[in-house]
Amino acid sequence: MTDNNFILEVKNLCVFYGGIQAVKDISFGIKKGEIITLIGATGAGKSTTLRAISGLLKPREGEILLEGRSLKNIPPYEVVKKGISHAPEGRKIFANLTVRENLELGAYLRRDKPAIGQDMERVFGLFPRLKERIKQNAGTLSGGEQQMLAIGRALMSAPKLLLLDEPSLGLAPLLVKAIFEVIKEINAKGVSIILVEQNAYQALKIAARGYVLETGKITMTVTAEDLVTNEELRKAYLGG
């Protein structure tokens, strides 16, 4: 039976790349208004899980339920229509388009023009630097600014659930702190967030719980408190 408190449930998910199984029978859920995080080493299956949720990969087995309804065989653009937006690893911005054009593409499925304008202003409220560079080609932005744009573009679809894949990767410590503050602010406005993040310490500080993935399997469910009490976890994912 589906729990009505969950905005998304993943049940017994199995995902393959050809003959290689990348995700092995994992199950987890996220409640409305929560932040959860997937942590683990490179190649553990974190990004693959997000791609399966957003429809970019087709699971071989298992279920993905959004508000109790299956996303099976639904193409990615329909997944966006239903309220899931994905800011992928590596940013994947459109380098030859301006900041404004990138943000407008985030809202390409929407027809509510006044609300689109309001949401763009909200993005600029979160990331004032983007407003300063609104006419600038995205490829000329710094790495931190490109990350802001990737998150802003994902927000322009007005999601219920935001998938963030390595938002702090390659950023300076001050920018990392700023990005995590924005993630908390987005969540405070009612958006549920699944966060994939190498920085387990920062991720668990803002998440309700974390799911540790190892070679495609969930091996542990953890909280920020476990960073203090679980020596094994600290050594494995936080460097001691």
* Rounded average pLDDT per 10-residue block, the chain, 240 residues: 78 95 97 94 93 96 97 95 91 91 94 92 94 95 91 95 92 87 94 92 91 93 80 66
Residue pLDDT, tens place only, 124-169: 999 999 999 999 999 999 988 999 999 999 999 999 999 999 998 8
Instruction: Count the domains in the chain.
Output: 1
Q: What confidence score (pLDDT) does residue 169 get? A: 84
Domain membership of residue 62 (yes or no) is yes
Buried-exposed string 27-40: b where 16+ CB fall within 10 A, e elsewhere: ebbbeebbbbbbbb
Residue 217 in any domain: the answer is yes
| Domain span including residue 62 | 1-82+200-240
- With contact defined as beta carbons under 8 Å apart, do 203 and 226 qualify? no
Residue 139, domain member (yes or no) = no
Query: How far, rounded to the nearest angstrom, does the alpha carbon of residue 35 sit from its chain's CA centroid?
Result: 10
Any domain includes 41: yes
Q: Is residue 170 part of a domain?
A: no
The model's pTM = 0.92
Rounded-to-integer distance, Cα 222 and Cα 226, Å = 6
Length of the chain (residues) = 240
In CATH, what number is assigned to the domain containing residue 227?
A: 3.40.50.300
Position 223 in a domain: yes
pLDDT of amino acid 239: 53
Query: Would 151 be classed as within a structural domain?
Result: no
DSSP string, 70-110: E-TT--HHHHHHTTEEEE-TT----TTSBHHHHHHHHTTT-
pLDDT at 78: 96
Look at residue 237 in the predicted model and tell me its pLDDT.
64
15 inside domain:
yes
